Amino acid sequence: MKKRRELFFSSIVVIAILSLISCYSTTKVSDQNIVDIYKNDLHSLHPEFRLVHVNDSLSQVYYKINESELLYERKALSDSFSASVRIFCRLTLNYESPLVMDSNSVVLNLQSTTNTRQEYTVGSIPIKINKGNRYLLTITAYDMNSKRTETTYMDADKTDWMGSQNFLVHDQANGHLLFSLVFDTDMRINIQYQHPAKKLYVRIYKNKFPIAAPPFSADEYNSPQLFADSSFSIHIKNGMFPLTLQSKGMYHIMVDSNDLGGLTLFRFDGGYPNISMAYELAPPLRYISSNDEFEKFTRSTNPKQDVDIFLD
């Protein structure tokens, strides 16, 4: 009887240990080969993600999937084409930690009458993130038909309510969630702040930064000083803060004008990041041209012609 009791308690201990171990992952991000994320030619999926903190313990991962990048298949001629993509979120303390703080996933099953679909799927996945710390969020998008995978690593900063991950940006025209914070045209947007506030503060910076010195230069680089060209406040309207990105520059949106934390939006020339104006041709050539050649480009009244001759 005593041996049975000891065997019973030993089994309980083993089960408890196995349950505890199951909460851990033996795979650290730092042990994985992530070189492929820097090889653009290998990327066939281009999902976009935005992380926003809802309260002290809950956050939301918003995703945007380009459906035309997925592989559509059908089992029979009478069936419509279908595609499936799995989005998996995994939260750890950092790249070195094997401990998984939380995880969640969703499978999107998409239907189409053709094998291509020129639309986007947008949604969100809840994940538990406690306030007061920084974490690593690993997001994997997996095309279940083509077996292609795209992994995104995101710094989840939940140290305060002032940071950029407490804001969402929407298009005023249609209400759509905007994932990119870079704009190349006049834009009317609505800013959604996740916590109580009646107004936000905006500073616009129109600084023109000098190009970085070439790698072979021995000159010391001094970080430029930023001075706001204008500042104003925007007030809440129907739960949103309306803002128009009219002039080029950096727009820094803050909850507290005395706190540097906040959301930064960038308004560049049309076509950014592509070059669409003649005066934009010269700066990128600084690193492959001599001083005399570069000065000629910058003084030229016809930079397009001079650059074409230089590259010919």
Rounded CA separation 226/10 (Å): 65
Tens of pLDDT, residues 243-287: 999 999 999 999 999 998 999 999 988 777 777 777 778 888 888
pLDDT at site 15: 45
Alpha-carbon distance of 291 to 143, in angstroms, equals 50
Residue extents of the structural domains in the chain: 24-159, 162-274, 278-311
pLDDT at 36 over 60: no
State residue 8's pLDDT score.
Answer: 45
Cβ atoms of 89 and 139 closer than 8 Å = yes
**Is the whole model's pTM more than 0.75, yes or no?**
yes
In CATH, the number for domain 24-159 is: 2.60.40.10
Rounded Cα gap, residues 37 and 89, in angstroms: 17
Q: Which of 155-164, 202-211, 271-280, 291-300 has the highest mean pLDDT?
A: 155-164
**What distance in Å separates the CA atoms of residue 290 and residue 311, rounded to the nearest whole number?**
13
Percent of the chain's residues with pLDDT above 70 = 85
Q: Cβ contacts of residue 257 below 8 Å, gap of 6+?
A: 201, 231
Q: Where are the beta strands (DSSP E) in the chain?
A: 48-53, 58-66, 81-92, 100-112, 120-128, 134-143, 149-157, 167-171, 177-178, 182-183, 187-193, 199-205, 230-235, 241-245, 249-254, 263-267
CA–CA separation, 47 and 37 (whole Å): 13
Please tell us whether the domain made up of 162-274 is placed in CATH 2.60.40: yes
Q: Which two tokens stand for residue 41?
A: 């030619």
Task: Tell me, yes or no, if the two domains 24-159 and 162-274 fold the same way.
Answer: yes
**What's the CA gap between 294 and 306, in Å, rounded?**
10
